Amino acid sequence: MRNFIAVLKDSFREARNGYVLQVMMGLIALLILLFMSISFRQLSQQEKLSSDLSSLINFAFSSSPEFGRFRMAAENVSEVREGDSWNTPYSYDLIVTFPNEAMYQKASKKTLPIGFFKSVKLPTSKEGVIDYYKTLNPSHGEFTVIDITPPSDRPKPEAKDKKEKPDDDEGSGGKPVILRYRVDAQSSIITEQKEWPHEVKVFFAVGTGLSFSQRDLAYYLENYVVNGIGSWIFSLLAVVITAFFVPNMIQKGALDLVIAKPIGRIQLLLYKYVGGLSFAFLLFAFTVLGIYLLVGIRMGIWSPVFLAAIPVLTVQFAILYSVSVLFGVLTRGSIVAILATVAAWFLIFCIGKLNDGVRNHDLQTAEFEKSKSEIGSNPIDPQTGKSMSMEEVLNRMNPNRPLWGFIPTSTFPAIRIVHTVTPRSFQLDYKMGRLIAEGVLTERQLKERGWDEPSPASWGEVLGVSAAFIALMLGLASWRFATRDP
């Protein structure tokens, strides 16, 4: 035990002497303090409706001639209880504007594809508005729609004149067509204030122009700032710092001094490895605990499962560090160890991404087969509304199509085999993201993000394969270290 503590102290002294550890801790502390200054202002129903329409409809369709280049707006919003926007009935006027009659006629003949042979009507009629809210924006819960467009303002659904100018097809001429509907929402699927959008401010007063629910923001901070981008940045920096530990130890002179003490070579190498892990563990623990306290204090969302990110991120680093140790022993060079670790990191990520693509390809094929059995012998093309032959259906969704357009299906078995025997950093990231989501999001939000789908692998499988890889790398490093000359 005394030897282990001595080696551990030596490792930390190496990291501390370069002031990298202190600088990293300071930067993380400043980032947490910045997030601590976040404050929230609850959006009104008018602001939420305008934000929803801007992001979901106007951004997507205002520049699309295929769907009529229409815009939607909410006016005359009234709430039963002002200030309780998240749980009060409300009503408003929904205004749908088309640039001209030609664009309206084009949109009235179109539907929006949302899946295999499924589509939703565009809001060119009362039925289209109801279809839109039920399918694409169901936050209203129970609602009714009344068409209040004067008959004189609605164009007749006649075929376009063949002599009509081409400019009209592009929506660049004619009088705008404006449709009006009164929407009365009696309930909402949002069940708590933390799920309602809030304007986000920093330094307690400075507006950012961004709006999130407190649960969404907690999810973004924990899953992306810590488990996503942050974990990879911190892991890379930790790899760079700890890559010097083993090469420095086995330099001529330094190794002679160390092995003169009553400690075996393999034991010494493993102690050095644990020292590097301890360094990364402290870095991850400081970051995770800081964000955990931030989310709890500023948003009132305490999710103990988020603390599991500390050991999970340490395992991810342990995979990379085992590669660094092996190449540090083989080459005695820290730069080569860093480059080899980054290359292994990239390779492991690519294998995980390929396997994930193959899995999604299989799921889409299964969904297609299910849809094919449900649509019967007369499938309808959601874009044109016309019947399709089974040959056209198969051409639309070919189960043998290449992954991402260039990876043939014949390579799928090899991809699965390679993925089976390589560490599961990609799946560790996915499973930790799932834990985070389940800790801070509601059931509705989980379903929206697809976190209600079955997990592709168990914790036992992911950790077991990763542990076997680490043992293999350390076993090779120990064998080479034990058999080489000082």
DSSP state of 455: P
Write down the pLDDT at residue 233.
83
**Position of tokens 């009344």?**
146
Q: CA 397 to CA 406: how far, in whole Å?
A: 16
Write down the pLDDT at residue 472.
95
Q: What is the pLDDT of residues 96-118, one digit of tens each?
A: 999 998 899 888 888 877 765 67
What six digits make up the tokens of 213?
């629910």
Write down the pLDDT at residue 389.
66
Write down the pLDDT at residue 136.
73
End-to-end CA distance of the chain: 24
Write down the pLDDT at residue 208.
81
DSSP annotation string for 282-339: HHHHHHHHHHHHHHHHHH----GGGGGHHHHHHHHHHHHHHHHHHHHHHH--HHHHHH
Write down the pLDDT at residue 486.
55
CB burial readout 12-26, b (16+ within 10 A) else e:
eebbeeeeebeebee
- The kind and range of the H/E element at 29 are helix 20-36
What six digits make up the tokens of 436?
């985070």
CB–CB of 355/407 below 8 Å? no
Write down the pLDDT at residue 142.
84
CB–CB of 410/358 below 8 Å? no
Q: CA 161 to CA 68: how far, in whole Å?
A: 17
Write down the pLDDT at residue 15.
58
Domain ranges, ordered by start, for the chain: 2-37+212-483, 45-194
Write down the pLDDT at residue 325.
92
Q: What is the pLDDT of residues 425-471, one digit of tens each?
A: 889 999 999 999 999 999 888 988 888 888 888 899 999 999 999 99
Ranges under pLDDT 50 in the chain: 160-168, 171, 253, 257, 260
The pTM (predicted TM-score) of the whole model is 0.81
CB–CB of 237/287 below 8 Å? no
